[in-house]
Amino acid sequence: MTPRPRVLVVQHEDDCPVAMIEPWLADVGLDCDVLAAHRGRAVPAHLVDHAGLIVLGGRMGAGDEARHRWLGPTKALIATVAAGGMPFLGVCLGHQLAAAALGGQVRPHAGPTRALHPLGATPEGLRDALLGGLGDGPEVLHWNDDVVVRAPAGATVLARTPDGAVQALRLGPRAWGVQFHPEVTGAVVRGWAADRDLSAQEEQVVGELERRTPELHRGWARLVRTFGRTVLGAGVPAGMGQSP
């Protein structure tokens, strides 16, 4: 039996898992290999046995290589994948790492963002292969402190939040970064505050996420499955099926 194509997923923290990305990619015929970089797994210099790359979120900043030494190799891998035209999706921190790796700039936002914001697609976003099918307006979860303040040269801003912050970027022919979290459930988000009480605002946001999960997940799943179909359409590298 021919093995299914696989995507490499770089994880930065135990409580920032691949979550719903894994079953939604499985729906279109892709499997995930999760690389726990924070647990000492080496980040490769190139994708050899994987058809695409996803980099997840985390509490650290995009410039925190001194404390989290795998971030440098992760940036290098993102740059190689994007330059090679291979499929890439960066989620929250992954989006910020990609922007920094490709020459953009990331800084703390005016304040932490904990909100369900509408997807504020730009004209380019409405025509984009990944975001275009979502239209302008589906709500997405933001849970971030930093934002991309300068997009890399050649990148296209696909969406902005109501305050004008970059919400999504196209970074190459098959490379995207999204500041929001299309992968989460209420339980995942509650895990981000396992060591403290949620603020009143955070509790309101998580409660709304929990109440509206079926509705919200329809759009989020569509984005992830569209990325999966992009991976499949890009072809499968030779050697696919071996363990990383």
DSSP 68: S
Distance between CA atoms of residues 59 and 43, nearest Å: 19
List 142, 183, 202, 217, catalytic entry: 183
Distance, CA of 138 to CA of 140 (rounded, Å): 7
Does residue 181 carry a catalytic annotation? yes
Q: Which member of 92, 139, 202, 217 is catalytic?
A: 92
69 touches 59 (CB < 8 A) = no
pLDDT per residue rounded down to tens, the chain (244 residues): 778 999 999 999 999 999 999 999 999 999 999 999 999 999 999 999 999 999 999 999 999 999 999 999 999 999 999 999 999 999 999 999 999 999 999 999 988 999 999 999 999 999 999 999 886 678 999 999 999 999 999 999 999 999 999 999 999 999 999 999 999 999 999 999 877 888 999 999 999 999 999 999 999 999 999 999 999 997 644 333 333 3
CATH homologous superfamily of 6-233 equals: Class I glutamine amidotransferase (GATase) domain (3.40.50.880)
Structure tokens at 11: 């994880």
Q: Where are the domains of the chain?
A: 6-233
Q: Which of 95, 117, 181, 217 is catalytic?
A: 181
183 is catalytic: yes
This prediction's pTM: 0.94
